[in-house]
Structure 1
């Protein structure tokens, strides 16, 4: 029952979560599986149908997705940007309010993972291949005059605007995007570890829906979360496969073809399946730590062999200008830089939101024992600073190379071969025969951890919130993540990948905003118990 005040009346600030219902009790168990009906059945059936239709109608799929992405990002720009702005302000409120003292798992809970292990898994899940794919591409894209994508219409060649290309990139990988992960991850953690509800998206809506959350409204929420997660992940997997193919071509001369890209997705998915079988601690955690070590080695190398002082100076200037420009960049109205806002920002916000069930649930699973304030600061601020540093060094070096007369990166970007941008930048540094293979390994490991973590999250949702569902189900979802990525790449390439992510991110935005309100109600309840 709800707690009472001093007069014996129920305290309206304390939520009543008395329910004997367990989502897993409706699970069906054919052939040793443990699946929640109808979420698993509907999700799996529709995804199998999507793969079949996309692969058998590749030309029609290419035309459809080629139209879908620009239509959605230009039509729903204000909606996506306002939603993300609300989430940022909400996270800042949680960090400074008394609600920040609430501990995930209860007052006596202790963390399951050390800071290094926790942060390593956080970065591998939350950043993925994006750091390597976009850190060189975006600053260059925003700087070249013929691509019409200057943030806020600022010409980087004009004195005082030199950092705008990097600032525009950091805006997409900083506080705004991570605020989405904070809200989804924190609401799932609180409702699962503190309120003892199943670890699935529908549980967050108990304050609004009550017992109906276990019926069709809950089924709809979880099914939408499965699709958002799957299409958000496959966009990343497709980008990673394209970048690995470009690296293999550049380093070893292997011709780029659809066969190569499909083979890469199949091979790397197979590696992910091994990680799936090994489990969280032996699989995801170990790979995440390997990833962190490789990423730090590559970053330090680029920083030291490049113009170190200049690149570190970039970082300070970018942080300053980011703080100044974040409000104008977040404003969806009266903008003249529509190429930047529609082509990049609104796509990014839809992509972050599509990724949020995956990253949010994964972060929730590994964050028991942290306070709300600790969670918000670590998940919001720390990754944003690291992203700003990474983009300042990698993007800043590419821009300095162009200023010195080297046009390799600029040519790859202007010809829109984005998968080559990183390798063109590394090509001008010593030991390319070593750094390029290391980058390929890093991309592959990011690929594997994303696929493994994603299959874990989707399996948890489709098993009714159970974290110990049979491994065969995670194998199923990891396999179909690869198949959907193949179907999208063959049925429209990059446009298809991005269109799929946006199409799921837009409706799921309403879900995330509602979750923020439910999180406030839950934290207020925990604070006043």
Structure 2
């Protein structure tokens, strides 16, 4: 294979070793199986360094806001006369599908219900518990994760399209370390990025297969067995391989736009057939609570309350680590489709549009779920406990008109999100392991596609998705340090650019 870097071989070897480790039965190595070892490491990191994840994620948000209001906002991610390659709807659809697609569908009803029954702190009334539940759902899927994505995507786009560097994570640190990034240190950074990408995406594919199986079970009464989930993974793998063959400007582009349209249709249907007034009131008041309480939530730890500390470790700190683990994949993909936008336009779009959409999504699905529990006595939490988290969405849809049709639409949506996430990941992994090639070799993409699907299938079969997710989050710790260095590198590069040529406001054509 031409253009393949040593990052490809090292990353592939590590991925295969982890898969082999993951399929070893727990009885064979009770103290050294993947799930046990990674759980111990993750527990140590979350307990001892939870404050680090919290401060780091908040620092990225502050940095993103600074870029919007600073003089650096006029810098173009490309040459000065470059125009955006994709219109706003297509651009939004592509970054959104890659960043949170399956997760939003999976957790849209489930997370608010979970927080409603187990709030982050003691609440006096049921209504307050409901408000806090939705507020923290906004928090976990709002400004912070997208600030993390924006930071790394901005760096990649700037150094690749404006400075002509390869589209690699290591390239973003050249202002700090120079040619050292072309050697072993740069290779190590890129391998960490590939590791986090492979296992983060594979876990999401496994979760997606579980939820698609749950939807099929609801529609057909066909049991959501491991065999069905294996078939789903095989079928979707074939579909996203076909999508990958069509390239970025066809497969991912059209599917991403389809994702947004189907998601909006599903959301609007539930909004207008459900408790519309309740949902919109809930959305409005929670949006205000989220914004007004954002500083307090951003720095909230619980040093005097072990129960609250456990909740934060299990949700907020876990999420921040998870988003950091996803940052190499999502950031590289967003960078690839954002050429020609100014820094201000880019950061504002990446922060605001997905955050508002996510807030509305959680209000509609989470609000409907909470309304069913509070006003109709439907115990969705117990159904989730018995049938799995993936059942929450279909339990909600079951209580509204055209439930079978809407469930089918939801299954289609999850499937298209599944395809675009996997397709995007194979594209990004191909770039990372071919020295930043903007059009990676198809053989490389196919290999990474099979590794992703194989990883998801094997560990789903062995019940090891939790271990895989934990392994990805462990990779987030060193990558958080890399992200901090990237921020310092961006500031140094921007200052140098401002010194060499004053930054003038540029009129944009839309």
Q: 2:18 aligns with which of 50, 55, 78?
A: 50
> What TM-score results when the alignment is normalised by the length of structure 1?
0.90
Task: Quote how far apart the aligned CAs of 1:63 are.
Answer: 3.5
User: In structure 2, how many angstroms separate the alpha carbons of the residues matched to 1:308 and 1:419?
Assistant: 24
Q: Could you say which residue in structure 2 is the equivalent of 1:4?
A: none
Task: Quote how far apart the aligned CAs of 1:119 are.
Answer: 0.9
Q: Could you say which residue in structure 1 is the equivalent of 2:418?
A: 447
1:131-167 CA-to-partner distances (Å, cap 9, x unmatched) read 11111111100111xxxx412x142735545410001
Q: 1:506 aligns with which of 455, 477, 482?
A: 477
Task: Compare 50-59 and 519-528 and name the one that shifted more.
Answer: 50-59
User: Alignment partner of 2:115: what SS?
Assistant: helix
1:455-491 CA-to-partner distances (Å, cap 9, x unmatched) read 1001101000111221111011011011111233234
Matches within 5 A, 1:345-356: 345-356=316-327
Unaligned runs of 5+ in 2: 28-32, 502-510
**Structure 2 residue 255 is the aligned partner of structure 1 residue 287:** yes
CA contact (8 A) 1:113 1:366 kept: yes
Q: 1:150 aligns with which of 119, 122, 133?
A: 119
**Structure 2 residue 267 is the aligned partner of structure 1 residue 299:** yes
> What TM-score results when the alignment is normalised by the length of structure 2?
0.93
Task: Quote how far apart the aligned CAs of 1:242 are.
Answer: 1.1
**Structure 2 residue 107 is the aligned partner of structure 1 residue 134:** yes
Q: 1:87 aligns with which of 60, 77, 80?
A: 60
CA contact (8 A) 1:142 1:150 kept: yes
**Structure 2 residue 486 is the aligned partner of structure 1 residue 518:** no
CA contact (8 A) 1:273 1:475 kept: yes
Aligned length: 492
Q: Could you say which residue in structure 1 is the equivalent of 2:78?
A: 105
CA contact (8 A) 2:206 2:460 kept: yes
**Structure 2 residue 228 is the aligned partner of structure 1 residue 260:** yes
Q: Could you say which residue in structure 2 is the equivalent of 1:224?
A: 192
Task: Quote how far apart the aligned CAs of 1:340 are.
Answer: 2.4
Task: Quote how far apart the aligned CAs of 1:253 are.
Answer: 1.2
User: Alignment partner of 1:296: what SS?
Assistant: helix
Task: Quote how far apart the aligned CAs of 1:431 are.
Answer: 0.5
Q: Could you say which residue in structure 2 is the equivalent of 1:118?
A: 91
Pair 52,444 (structure 1): closer, same or farther in 2 beyond 3 Å: same
**Structure 2 residue 162 is the aligned partner of structure 1 residue 194:** yes
User: In structure 2, how many angstroms separate the alpha carbons of the residues matched to 1:293 and 1:159?
Assistant: 33
Task: Compare 160-169 and 65-74 and name the one that shifted more.
Answer: 65-74
**Structure 2 residue 280 is the aligned partner of structure 1 residue 312:** yes
User: In structure 2, how many angstroms separate the alpha carbons of the residues matched to 1:247 and 1:287?
Assistant: 20
User: In structure 1, how many angstroms separate the alpha carbons of the residues matched to 2:300 and 2:203?
Assistant: 25
Task: Quote how far apart the aligned CAs of 1:408 are.
Answer: 4.2
Q: Could you say which residue in structure 2 is the equivalent of 1:35?
A: 4
User: In structure 2, how many angstroms separate the alpha carbons of the residues matched to 1:390 and 1:192?
Assistant: 34
CA contact (8 A) 1:408 1:424 kept: no
User: In structure 1, how many angstroms separate the alpha carbons of the residues matched to 2:192 and 2:465?
Assistant: 23
CA contact (8 A) 2:456 2:465 kept: no
User: In structure 2, how many angstroms separate the alpha carbons of the residues matched to 1:54 and 1:164?
Assistant: 37
Matches within 5 A, 1:404-483: 404-415=375-386, 417-483=388-454
Q: Could you say which residue in structure 1 is the equivalent of 2:360?
A: 389
Task: Quote how far apart the aligned CAs of 1:435 are.
Answer: 0.5
User: In structure 2, how many angstroms separate the alpha carbons of the residues matched to 1:257 and 1:72?
Assistant: 34
Task: Compare 485-494 and 279-288 and name the one that shifted more.
Answer: 485-494
User: In structure 2, how many angstroms separate the alpha carbons of the residues matched to 1:466 and 1:172?
Assistant: 33
User: In structure 2, how many angstroms separate the alpha carbons of the residues matched to 1:448 and 1:81?
Assistant: 32
Task: Quote how far apart the aligned CAs of 1:122 are.
Answer: 1.4
CA contact (8 A) 1:65 1:492 kept: no
Task: Compare 153-162 and 94-103 and name the one that shifted more.
Answer: 153-162
Pair 490,68 (structure 1): closer, same or farther in 2 beyond 3 Å: farther
1:497-522 CA-to-partner distances (Å, cap 9, x unmatched) read 43122111122111111111111122
CA contact (8 A) 2:430 2:441 kept: no
Q: Could you say which residue in structure 1 is the equivalent of 2:181?
A: 213
